[in-house]
Every structure is written in structure tokens, then in C-alpha cells.
Amino acid sequence: MASHCNPVFYDGLFYCLSKDGKLGIFNPEEEYEDVWKILVRAIFPLQNMEYHLTSLRSFLVEYCGEFFSFFVPVNKPIDVFKLDRSEMKWVRVESLGDKVAFLSHTTSVLVPAGLKGVENRIYLPKFYGIDNMYYSLTTRSFSYFGSKDPCAKWIDSSEIFDCTWFQANL
């Protein structure tokens, strides 16, 4: 199933993630093969096809040579997986540890948190009023700046879909 997932360019290859968790690869150096190859089978079963077509967004991140996938449904917990290259399958991740993820349809990054208290979070370009929202893998809920309580008004939030995260290279 196609998705609006940001592609990842790593080690000379392009990687992309489908809505159901298939990992595709494209090698621009292969002269006579302009097709994507599927490396990893789907995470989610086909019985939930309608659910995936209407409400699931997927994001792919490469961090230090490892691939992480993020699946963001509407008003449900975010699922995070890490690619187990030895078995070529996705393994569920419960914590990002001291890292933080920034996800959008144009670019997504996973970086060390840098500040105490922001680790193990996922940031999307999502707002409640003027306050930026984030998803905590610790509490498995959305919150917004200035509040430590889960955001009960998730459905009243807004999201900017045509944005890009930038990472300073200091």
C-alpha cells in the first residue's frame, strides 16, 4: 500500500515504507531495473486494510545505520518498530531511550534529546491552539508544552502537513 512516507537515502539506496509496514528499496545504480524491491513483509495484517487506508500515516527514520518505523493512527497510541536486519523483520520498540523523533511527510529524524525531560518523545507538526504537541512513549499519550497532563482534546488539534524539520550541523 502506497503511503506519503518520507523516503530515506542511506548507503547509496533509497528506502520507503508502506502504510502496512513493508520496506521497499530502490537502487538508482542498477541500469535496467527501475523498480522497487520489497525487503520486509507487512507488519499489520490485511484484515485491518480499511483502518490502514483511512487513518494510518507511516514514517521512516535512519539513525546510526539502523531503521526505525513510526505508525501514527488517529487518536490511538503511536507504534514504533526497529528493523532487525538479521531476520529482516520489524520488532516493536517501547522506548526511544535518550532520543527524540521529529516526524513529517518531507523529512523525519531521530536525534539525541540534548535536554533532560524531552527524551522518549515524538514531535509532529501538531498544535493545540498555539502550543506545540508531542507524543510521549512513556505515557503513551499526547501532551502539549506548558502541560504535563495528557491532552484530552487531541481531536481539536491542528497539524501542518507541508513542513520540514531541520537539524543544525554544529
| CA-CA-CA-CA dihedral for 167, 19, 10, 164, to nearest 10 | -20
Tens digit of each residue's pLDDT, the chain (170 residues): 556 677 889 999 888 887 777 888 888 887 766 677 887 776 665 555 555 555 577 889 999 999 999 888 776 788 899 998 888 888 999 999 999 998 888 888 898 988 787 889 988 876 656 567 788 898 888 777 766 666 655 556 656 666 766 666 65
1 and 80 in a single domain? The answer is: yes
Per residue in 55-78, pLDDT (tens digit) is: 577 889 999 999 999 888 776 788
Last residue of a domain, one of 49, 65, 93: 93
10 and 57 in a single domain? The answer is: yes
Last residue of a domain, one of 73, 93, 113: 93
Q: Containing H/E element for 54?
A: helix 49-55
Q: Which pTM does this prediction carry?
A: 0.81
Q: Is residue 170 part of a domain?
A: no
Q: Is residue 2 part of a domain?
A: yes
The boundaries of the domain holding residue 129 are 98-163
75 and 154 in a single domain? The answer is: no
